[in-house]
Amino acid sequence: MRWQTADQGHDRRPGAPPLTAVAPPKKAVGGEAVDLLLRRMAGGDVIAPPVRHVQLLPMLTVRDSCGRPAH
């Protein structure tokens, strides 16, 4: 059985085995959110906001929970 988690935040407690984690690029997500907020506050997207797709690459940290060989 293999386990993983979606975020490896600073409040993560070490477990046994250590979980593989996919961490979102938090600064980039925040930057996109601020950009969207500023555009909406300026009145650019008031009536019908366009659909906007943003691709941000997460960071994968492979740990023992996915069968990584022990050191």
Q: Give me the pLDDT at residue 19, please.
A: 81
Task: Indicate whether this model's pTM tops 0.85.
Answer: no
What mean pLDDT comes out for the span 5-11? 57
What mean pLDDT comes out for the span 14-23? 78
pLDDT beyond 80 at 62: yes
Backbone angles phi, psi at 61, to 5 degrees: -115, 105
* Angstrom distance (rounded) from CA 5 to CA 17: 12
Indicate the pLDDT class of residue 49, thresholds 50, 70 and 90: low
Q: Give me the pLDDT at residue 63, please.
A: 82
CB 23 within 8 A of CB 57: no
